Amino acid sequence: MFQNACIFGIPEMAITDVYDFYRKMEDEKIILSFKGEFTPDLLTSILNILETRMRTMGVERKKQKRVFNVLVECFQNLYHHIDERASDAAEVELQKSVLIMIKYAGDSFIVRTGNHLSNEVIPELRRKLAMVNALSTDELRGLYQAKLKNDQRSEKGTAGLGLIDIARKSGSKLEYEFLEIDKHSSFFCLNVVIE
Amino acid sequence: MEKFHLIGSPKTPEIDFNGDTGILELRGRSIPENSVEFYSPLNKWLDDYEKQPHASTTVDVKLEYFNTSSSKCILDIFKRLEKMNGKATQVKVNWYFETEDEDMAEAGEDYQAIVELPFTIIEVDEI
């Protein structure tokens, strides 16, 4: 239903609007954006582009590494936590479709991601996000060590360290929003600022 | 003993393990989607090494980046070596970090706090 509304509810973009679209991204200081199906190869390409870009921009090495780390964890979170229980092919495609934006404004990098989530996983994700946001740098480090030490892994081999690491490397609070699409799924937006 | 060698890739580190010298080196970046799968051949190789280790085992970790799923796998390797340490082999870890990369230095300290192995954290200009 959501998909149809997008296709039929909004008039098709005129070809000249492409420039407006481009200008808007330029004004928003977006250095890279992607919408579509998320794959491991895509991550390799985006990292490659961004690394070269940061090097030519003369970004200090420490910040380059932090941006790189946040990107890797954000992307791999998307990759591992995409809701795959969708019932038909169109639904699966929608679930795999993500939005990634990287902004560079006033010496800060901003990594913004958007993806579909099953409503069932939201309470747990909210809890994790609230928890990392409530912790200080030292407390985050303590939690990271404790989780690393503890031998548990999820079915997908993820260690539950992703969000903690993103919070540690970004050095600022994670901003997020859940936009409900219907009774089954929501769109999750995450905004990570690397100062 | 046969040598273990893996060529590095944009997402996986170069790994060298020479059973005759007891030197294990990890170099580059470790950010695969499936770290458990990636580290499984090294773990298999360690099964054999464990039976006849060199008198000293040195782990040189020269990583530029690693993701959180690799961090668990790296810990697993340290844990295995921790069990071997002081028996047939003396294990030590050299953890390298690039100047100003305090995050990587901290990561080494995090392991040092968790694992009972002698760690040396070494600053270098470039990894």
Q: Does residue B86 register a pLDDT over 90?
A: yes
Beta-carbon separation of B102 and A62 below 8 A: yes
Task: Please tell me the distance in Å from B72's CA to the nearest CA on chain A.
Answer: 6
Per-residue pLDDT at A1: 40
Please check whether residue A159 touches B, CB under 8 A.
yes
Question: What fold is seen in the domain B4-124?
Answer: Transcription Regulator spoIIAA (3.30.750)
- CATH number, domain with residue A65: 3.30.565.10
Does A100 or A40 have the greater pLDDT score?
A100
Question: Shortest CA distance to B61 belongs to which of B42, B45, B78?
Answer: B78
Q: What is the ipTM of this complex?
A: 0.91
Per-residue pLDDT at A153: 67
pLDDT digits 0-9 by tens, A52-88: 999 999 999 899 999 999 999 998 888 776 655 656 7
Task: Break chain B into its structural domains and give their ranges.
Answer: 4-124
Range of the domain at A140: 2-194
Chain A partners within 8 Å of B69 (Cβ): 76, 157-159, 161
